[in-house]
Amino acid sequence: MIKIAVASDQGRVTEHFGHCESFVVFEAEGTDILSETVLPNPGHRPGFLPNYLHEQGVQVIISGGMGGGAIDIFNQHDIEVIVGASGLAKRSVAAYVRGELKSTGSVCHQHAHHGDC
């Protein structure tokens, strides 16, 4: 089983990882999505969210955009980062488990939070 988190606003993939309203965490086995849980965003502080999601057992994070600092921390925890996603969170996860969702590798540089988006 794998745990996949999606940075989400109202059920859609958000463009700004750290500023999302919640993380929708899906558990999947093969191509089957088994469960879906919504975790409210506990707050945007540099370095906090990647560690928080690691503590939740997340193995993959999907977002529209993300800063380089957050990506580095996820990589340190061996959490796969998928950026450049859009649309409904559940559809993105379904595409991921089918092997159809790939990261664009885009890093967000839109504000001055030390590269954390």
What φ, ψ does residue 8 adopt, rounded to 5°? -135, 145
pLDDT for 114 equals 42
pLDDT at 107: 61
Q: Which domains does the chain have, with CATH numbers?
A: 1-34+50-58+79-117 (3.30.420.130)
Q: How far is CA 74 from CA 9, 10, 22, 38, 88, in A?
A: 21, 24, 18, 20, 23
Q: What is the pLDDT of residue 108?
A: 57
Transcribe 83-97 into DSSP letters: ES--SBHHHHHHHHH
Predicted pLDDT at 42: 93
List average pLDDT for each run of 10 residues in the chain, which is 117 residues long. Answer: 97 92 97 97 88 97 93 96 96 97 72 43
Q: How far apart, in whole angstroms, are the C-alpha atoms of residue 51 and residue 77?
A: 8
